[in-house]
Amino acid sequence: MWYWLFKYVLLGPLLYLMGRPKIEGGENIPSDGPAILASNHQAVLDSFFLPLMVRRRITFLAKSEYFTGTGLKGGFQRWFFSAVGQVPIDRTSADAAQDALNAGVRVLGQGKLLGIYPEGTRSPDGRLYKGKTGMARLALETGVKVIPVAMIGTDKMNPIGSKTWRPAKITVKIGEPIDFSRFEGMGGNRFVERTVTDEVMYALMQLSGQEYVDIYAATLKKKGAASEKAGEDAASGTNAPAAADADRLPDTQAG
């Protein structure tokens, strides 16, 4: 009930007023049955405007931090994300990738739409980054089609580091469903998973018009944080550890 109240009464009207959103290719989303919506990730508002513009309900795999906060803000986040039916995933556990896969399989098994951000985190600079293979594992495990989605303009309405929204034109582009049935029975093959992921990321690049960067966004963010820390340590005369090797970071995280 809360999902539809937020969409049509509590939050939707404000989003329409500030974002003047439009959707292109909405006919590519099936009227029923499971599908994976694989979207680029420009801003937190992506998770608001995509459900707003798609008639069917969308379930996202949300990071568990949204459900574990304390105080007034933490309580509101926990209530909000629970009320709209999002599924918490602990991205720090040793079994995070498998837990995300299991949760996604359950959602799709119920015939629902599952929203995933293959980049694994928001773009730090507006470019499109290398996709993690959790989405591919889900597609190969379930046989469900992947529908690429390009969110355009959300980063203008909700710029990185900004705590306020500003008026901007939002466009949601829905691409044609991609069928990976040609890889049936090949789940678990890392080469196939990477092939599936890259095909979806190429479709997202075409839809969004973003420049593609063949590294993980999380890796760039870690290196940036490490460089900033190294600069602080150099200024204070201490030594900082080297940035983590990007090739050692997990690449199977969904959502």
CATH number at residue 82: 3.40.1130.10
Q: Does residue 237 carry a pLDDT above 80?
A: no
In a domain, 107, yes or no: yes
SS3 assignment for 60-82? EEEECHHHHCCHHHHHHHHHHHH
Least confident stretch, 8-17, 122-131, 168-177, 231-240: 231-240
120 against 169, higher pLDDT: 169
In a domain, 22, yes or no: yes
Q: Are 12 and 162 in contact (CB under 8 A)?
A: no
- Give the total number of structural domains in the chain: 1
When pLDDT is averaged across residues 175-182 and rounded to a whole number, the result is 97
Query: Could you list the residue range(s) of the whole structural domain that residue 192 is in?
Result: 2-227
Q: Is 70 helix (H, G, I), strand (E, B) or coil?
A: coil
74 against 170, higher pLDDT: 170
Give pLDDT, residue 91. 66
240 against 47, higher pLDDT: 47
When pLDDT is averaged across residues 62-67 and rounded to a whole number, the result is 75
Give pLDDT, residue 223. 77
In a domain, 203, yes or no: yes
**How many angstroms separate the CA atoms of 247 and 11, rounded?**
41
In a domain, 105, yes or no: yes
Q: Does residue 42 carry a pLDDT above 90?
A: yes
In a domain, 53, yes or no: yes
65's tokens: 């931090």
When pLDDT is averaged across residues 59-67 and rounded to a whole number, the result is 80
When pLDDT is averaged across residues 65-74 and rounded to a whole number, the result is 79
